[in-house]
Amino acid sequence: MNEYKHIKNQDNDLYEALIGEEKREEKGVELIPSENYVSQAVREANGSILTNKYAEGYPGRRYYGGQDFTDAVERLAIERACELFGAKYANVQPLGGAAANMAMYFALMEPGDTVLGMDLSHGGHLTHGHPTTWINKIFNFVRYKMKDVETGEIDYDELRKVAIENKPKIILAGFSAYSRELDYQKFVDIAKEVGAYTVADMAHIAGLIAGDVVKNPFDYGFDVITTTTHKTLRGPRGGMILTRESEEIAKKIDKAVFPGIQGGPHMHIIAAKAVAFGEALHPSFKDYAGQILKNAKAMEKVFKDADIRLLGGGTDNHLLLADVYGSLGITGEEAEVALDEVGITLNKNMIANDTRKALDPSGIRFGTPAMTTRGMKEAEATKLAELMIETMKNKDDADKKAEIKKVVEELCTKFPVPDSFV
């Protein structure tokens, strides 16, 4: 546990909140598939004096003085990112995944141009053109979907048809609630046919790509990858844009990030990205990524054995989507609350063709990146999945939930978050 001694001395209200969160993370298990625990080294960089520095521009061409050390920091992050993903260019300045996607859209398109992306109710992300976002007012978004929600197979014939009809500038592969591998070759073939760029939003699976346990879209000729750095990749909260080989695209992306949509880069976060990418280049990261998948498969088995419907029929990655309303008669919101009470954190989620609403949907989404960071393996994943089902089946039984909470706490005590991963 961190001491926060200076905060304690000068700001007790904030101190109490931080200690509360420290305890919550220690005593409960995190199954939100987009979350993780970072190393102390990442946190040191994140909390470093680089937060003091303005560094508009890029290494070797900054607009402010005093850049003796910022260039070295940013170059390290760029070189490591390129090595991890097999890219020629990397922009490590995006403040998050949404900023990365926005900059990518502005780099590759003019207002009014069209993007073909995954339907949001079938696993796509808000930044892929949700009607409530500003980006949706600037660009035109058309959709592809799963052909069969029970297997997760994408309808590539429909994707091709929509591409031919709408001539998109970008065909976007990527998701935030989809558990199967995509057929990247099909995306590339269709994009070639209609003259579109191929972009993969790999925020959720970046760590799995870096660890070589799922396919890398660049191996199929994708032009660009956007990602966050804090999910499976286990870095600080932030974003990144990678370009496979085109200098022309990379230049457009750099301009779109700064001065296009952002000001001074957050150099402390870029330093923390460099640390995290260094960790992901370490051979042990491959084991970590492999274990994420094994743990997800162990959870899949328990849910399947209990006859709980999994969207896509199971998982090829780190996450699972379960139709708990259809299978157990408990809503996603009720499940989230009951599980929170026993120290298991996950999120309610809409499922494809959901008849319920976003704030109280039919599904839950959960995954294994954070629990795997704690060193938990298949036995613990199996136990947690069993406890989840027991909790959902007994959501109104306070005694049962107290009993389960104790078991979760004991498990967490045995698996503290490590300080270092290398």
- Active-site annotation holder among 88, 147, 237, 400: 237
Residue 278 vs 363, nearer CB to ligand DSN: 363
The residue number with the shortest CB distance to ligand DSN is 34
List Cβ neighbours of 226 (8 Å cut-off, separation of 6 or more): 94, 97, 100, 101, 104, 174, 199, 200, 201, 202, 203, 239, 240, 241, 242
Q: Which amino acid is at 385?
A: A
Residue 97 vs 238, nearer CB to ligand DSN: 97
CA angle 406, 412, 418 (to 5 degrees): 165
Closest distance of CB 50 from ligand DSN, Å:
25
The CA distance from 197 to 224, in Å, is 8
Residue 178 vs 285, nearer CB to ligand DSN: 178
Instruction: List the x/- string, 238-277, binding to ligand DSN by CB under 6 A.
Output: ----------------------------------------
54 is annotated as an active-site residue: yes
Residue 34 vs 93, nearer CB to ligand DSN: 34
Other C-beta atoms closer than 10 Å to the C-beta of 264 total 15
- Active-site annotation holder among 30, 74, 119, 201: 201
When binding is defined by CB under 6 A, the residue of 28, 97, 168, 312 that contacts ligand DSN is 97
Instruction: List the x/- string, 116-155, binding to ligand DSN by CB under 6 A.
Output: ---------x------------------------------
The reply on whether position 229 binds ligand DSN by CB under 6 A is no
Decide: 343 and 27 in contact? Cβ < 8 Å. Answer: yes
- Active-site annotation holder among 114, 226, 228, 243: 228
Q: Of 124, 99, 253, 182, whose CA–CA distance to 115 is shortest?
A: 124
3-state secondary structure of 299: helix
Closest distance of CB 177 from ligand DSN, Å:
7
Q: Which residues in 279-308 contact ligand DSN (CB under 6 A)? A: none
List Cβ neighbours of 304 (8 Å cut-off, separation of 6 or more): 310, 314
378 is annotated as an active-site residue: no
228 is annotated as an active-site residue: yes
Closest distance of CB 238 from ligand DSN, Å:
12
Closest distance of CB 339 from ligand DSN, Å:
16
Decide: 311 and 149 in contact? Cβ < 8 Å. Answer: yes
The CA distance from 313 to 40, in Å, is 37
When binding is defined by CB under 6 A, the residue of 91, 114, 176, 243 that contacts ligand DSN is 176
The reply on whether position 67 binds ligand DSN by CB under 6 A is no
CA angle 350, 352, 356 (to 5 degrees): 45
3-state secondary structure of 211: coil
When binding is defined by CB under 6 A, the residue of 28, 31, 34, 314 that contacts ligand DSN is 34
413 is annotated as an active-site residue: no
Decide: 26 and 412 in contact? Cβ < 8 Å. Answer: yes
Closest distance of CB 125 from ligand DSN, Å:
6
119 is annotated as an active-site residue: no
Rg (CA), the chain: 22
Q: Of 51, 53, 56, whose CA–CA distance to 259 is shortest?
A: 56
- Active-site annotation holder among 145, 231, 234, 244: 231
The CA distance from 58 to 400, in Å, is 56
390 is annotated as an active-site residue: no
Q: How many residues bind ligand DSN (CB under 6 A)?
A: 4
Other C-beta atoms closer than 10 Å to the C-beta of 221 total 16
Footprint of ligand DSN (CB under 6 A)? 34, 97, 125, 176
Catalytic positions, please?
A: 54, 56, 201, 228, 231, 237
